[in-house]
Chains A and B, each alone.
Chain A
Amino acid sequence: MNNPQDVVTEALRGMAAAHTGLLRLNAEPPYLVRADAPVQGKVGIVSGGGSGHEPMHGGFVGMGMLDAACPGAVFTSPTPDQMLAASQAVNGGAGVLHLIKNYTGDCLNFEMAAELARAEGIEVEQVLINDDVAVQDSLYTAGRRGVGVTVLVEKIAGAAAEQRRPLKEVAEIARTVNARGRSMGMALTSCTVPHAGKPTFVLAEDEMEIGIGIHGEPGRRRMKWAPAAEVAVMLVEPILGDLPFQPGDEVLAFVNGMGGTPLMELYIMFAEVARILEGRGIRIARSLVGSYITSLEMAGCSVTLLKLDGALTQLWDAPVKTAALRWGG
């Protein structure tokens, strides 16, 4: 990088330059918006959060997914004025849906942004994403974190909005996806926040951390390395038991890289996940493998399972054209 202070600004500039037909960058306050926004009569979908999770969220701005993404500083939620400006920019008269990962900072800032937007006569719905089964005793914490399911909610709600469904219905679909999805992650190394300049936590060469979040916050358990087959069990079992998933379920299985893990290893993990699910009589109807919600250069992965039905599968299959995710159309 050139300078730790400028990482976000410079990355946004690069992103806008790389995807000119798809999105544009509003510099002050900063947000990325799809090139043809606002789309008249379509619910505008705004998401956002700290930077350092690329391609989330800017990589998901485009047809069939997000209308705008608000980037904060690294691992820091964006501010209400950013979210308000983004909401104004994507409001095509059908209202705006805010997709919020459950972190205190994101919740507070989006809450204030909604107050400001409603005061301006923009109809706003907010959906909170909280799929991380690693967070226990959620009554005594700020609640479960929003992690892998975020990508799936953004895609599926984005497809519903693209079909011109009304705001309440798009929000309901987003809530359904959140309710039917669960995730769990692990790390082999910490990440280094640019302005801090050193790893957030230190793991020995042969150690891993189970149940990490996406901000370099340590997990709940540290242990010695285990083979992929054992790690897969540690990630998948808590997910299966939590919803709970049943034999006969059809799922979308998502193996996500944290930024520093090669695709080869993610596929090894996917094979193990598939083996476990097959043993349980759960059918993988759709899949996604790659680094979509990352934690800078952290080595590690997360597993997300979403219980599908015909309607959700159709929305998942609908065309999407963004920097990081595209198919169909």
Chain B
Amino acid sequence: MPVTRETAEQWIRAYAAAIAEHEQALTQLDMAIGDGDHGANMQRGFQAVLSRLGSVAEGDLGALFKLVGMTLLSTVGGTSGPLYGTLFLQMALKTQGKHELAPEELEAALRAGLEGIIARGKAAPGDKTMIDALKPAQEALRQALNQKSSLAEALRRAEEAARTGRDATIALVARKGRASYLGERSAGHQDPGATSAHLLMECAARTWM
């Protein structure tokens, strides 16, 4: 399935549904090492996104991603708001005026989003954050596309890499965000941000399979 404005909207809707389904689980993970609000914050943001999607029905991909980014920025708060907001705003800049993306363009947009998150959050791989799921996903996606894999196959590998990255956060000691205040006690818990980031890649793989 090609990456069009319509399928990208399906991706966003699928992610909103996944957040609703996993809200409690995300909050549970956050209660263990943070402050127990990740699920509720993401749920609030994506419910707002759903309610506003109709207003860009005619727009291009850039308009869609901008709406998502701005809505998250103004409704989520915490770290998820600016970080996921930045991801989608950077994707919007890369896809302005476009109604369809080649697989390489989708990867470039995701990469710009990831770079935006890294710049905004000043976190690095291994800090026990969403980057630990997103960066391996973006790298797997790029590598698969370089090897001439189909978009579906490349996204499948990206999802796998995100899952592996997410699981690897369990052993890590947090160095960023509220979990970092626990020091060594943060080890042994899966990072909630990496978990929601994996869900985003899982929804992409399901949307464009």
Contacts and interface: CB of A to CB of B under 8 A. Distances in A.
B79 interface: yes
Query: Main secondary structure on chain B at its contact with chain A?
Result: helix
Contacts of A103: 178
Contacts of A78: 77
A80 interface: yes
Given A76-B41, A109-B77, A142 B176 contact: yes
A246 interface: no
Contacts of B41: 73, 76
Interface in A195-222: 195-196, 200-201, 213, 215-218, 220
Given A81-B74, A108-B121, A217 B182 contact: yes
B53 interface: no
Contacts of B27: 195-196
B179 to A, nearest CB: 8
Given A136-B183, A141-B181, A76 B36 contact: no
A70 B31 CA distance: 24
B37 A76 contact: yes
Interface residues of B, number: 34
A156 B174 CA distance: 34
Contact of B178 (A29, A104, A193, A201): A104
Residue with the highest number of chain B CB atoms closer than 10 Å, among A29, A77, A213: A77
B136 interface: no
Interface residues of A, number: 38
> At the interface, is chain A mostly helix, strand, loop or mixed?
loop
A16 to B, nearest CB: 21
A72 B77 contact: yes
B42 to A, nearest CB: 11
Given A196-B27, A196-B36, A217-B35, A76 B178 contact: no
B177 interface: yes
Contacts of A77: 77-79, 81
A74 B39 CA distance: 13
A126 to B, nearest CB: 15
B82 interface: yes
The residue among A72, A80, A217 with the most chain B CB atoms within 10 A of its own CB is: A217
A105 interface: yes
Nearest to B70: A81
B34 interface: yes
Instruction: Give 8 closest A-B pairs by Cβ, nearest first.
Output: A141-B180, A215-B35, A105-B78, A108-B82, A76-B77, A76-B78, A105-B79, A75-B35
Interface of B: 27, 31, 33-37, 40-41, 44, 73-83, 120-121, 173-178, 180-183, 185
12 contacts: A72-B78, A73-B37, A79-B81, A104-B79, A104-B178, A105-B77, A105-B78, A105-B80, A109-B78, A142-B181, A220-B183, A220-B185
